[in-house]
Amino acid sequence: MDPWVQQGAAEIARRAVRELEALVAVSSPSGDVHGAEECAALCAVLVPDEAQVERVPCSSAGHAPDVVARLRGSGDRRVVLLGHIDTVIPHANHKPLARDGDKLVGSGAVDMKGGVVLALGAMRALARVPERYAEVALVLVGDEEWRTAPFVHAARFAGWDACLCFEAGERMQDGGEGVVVRRKAAGTIRITARGRAAHSGSAPDRGRNALLALASAAQIVARCHDPGGPHRLTAVPTVIRSGDAFNVVPGRGELTCDIRADVTEAILGVLDALPAEIEGVALATEPVRLWPGMDAAAATAGLLESASALLGREVGGVARGGASDASHFAEGMPITVDGLGPRGGAAHNPEEYVLADSLHERAEVALAVIAAALDGRY
């Protein structure tokens, strides 16, 4: 193994559990300004002293500013390290970090505060070798989980050489180290129903039931689900709201659906499948979120081969269906690699966890990929 990778990963691992415990102790659901500020302050302490830390406006209005920490050196290449500090877990359900056998269980542990810990450690390792880069920037955002606005950082770092994102890592089918080089496009669609309210006892047939119309719309969306098809489309109704009283025909309502596919055109095709009216209830559809897909498999093949040589074991590219901010960078930055964080599971669930041993192993992977990117080995 490359000595810089080996030494740096060992130093990251020595601190990783304590740093993860500190980050997970902060409840930071997406959009919560206080939680984001606490996480930002903690991260500012954990970056190396050589880094210049600034707070820049978040992509989403009403959110705390994002964190950008920069290291400047005498080399040639510029690389972005990317992560997010927000979670999907509300304050009432927040769990601090606790060990359960080989698992470190806590809210946001794998998605993605574990990855943030590795990125912070990588910055400290990079601070000791400024001759290897012109600039490295660590970008930590506070709105990844729920953002619907355009992502502002893609333009800020346009023209840089590589984006390396620290979402959770995994293993390949043969047991090798896996990093993410393909992601689906992600869409959230909202269907608004406008019917007519009426007394459900004395005049039910005078109403136009928005709830029933949305239930029919949900079935139409679900019938578009085709994960084995040419675009690997998944179409899942997720939230429905309609009605205000038990004795009133609901006149209005709203349905939200999560749509994923290899291409955004397939997501928009689900909207085209929905009618403008069902049983006298008008339906209005709109995409409230549309994130691009990512396919960096070919562009990063040489990079991962070089990283494998530095690591002394195989690093290969895998595909993942979940959305990530890396996809926004991948549109203009072909060398984009995601999934550099630790392994774990149960993301967005009460028992979310990081595998403790993977913190060291994945720190090695991350540093090997960073070194290959900075050396231009692709």
Across 23-47, average pLDDT? 97
CA distance 73 to 60: 31
- 220 and 267, same domain (yes or no): yes
DSSP labels for 63-111?
SPPEEEEEEE-SSS-EEEEEEE--BS--GGG----EEETTEEE-TTIII
pLDDT tens-digit series, residues 201-259: 999 999 999 999 999 999 999 999 999 999 999 999 999 999 999 999 999 999 999 99
Percent helix / strand / coil, the chain, rounded to 5: 35, 30, 35
Residue ending a domain, choose from 291, 321, 336: 291
What are the backbone dihedrals phi and psi of residue 335, each rounded to the nearest 5 degrees, phi first?
Answer: -85, 85
Asked whether residue 40 carries a pLDDT value surpassing 80, the answer given is: yes
Strands 78-84, 162-165: pairing is: parallel
Residue ending a domain, choose from 258, 291, 324: 291
- 75 and 180, same domain (yes or no): yes
- 57 and 78, same domain (yes or no): yes
User: Residue 304 in contact with residue 317, Cβ under 8 Å?
Assistant: yes
**CATH number of the structural domain spanning residue 266:** 3.30.70.360
**Confidence at 286, pLDDT banded by 50, 70, 90:** very high
Asked whether residue 22 carries a pLDDT value surpassing 90, the answer given is: yes
Number of domains present in the structure of the chain:
2
Asked whether residue 63 carries a pLDDT value surpassing 90, the answer given is: yes
CA distance 209 to 282: 10
- 238 and 345, same domain (yes or no): no
Number of neighbouring beta carbons within 10 Å of residue 232: 17
pTM above 0.85, yes or no: yes
**CATH number of the structural domain spanning residue 336:** 3.40.630.10
Which helix (H) or strand (E) covers residue 135, if one does? strand 135-141
- 363 and 238, same domain (yes or no): no
pLDDT tens-digit series, residues 137-195: 999 999 999 899 999 999 999 999 999 999 999 999 999 999 999 999 999 999 999 99
Whole-number pLDDT of residue 146: 87
Percent of the chain surpassing pLDDT 90? 97
For residue 74, what are the domain limits? Answer: 3-184+293-374
Q: Mean pLDDT score of the chain, rounded to an integer? A: 96
Buried residues in 98-108 as b, exposed as e (16+ CB within 10 A): eeeeebbbbbb
Across 288-314, average pLDDT? 96
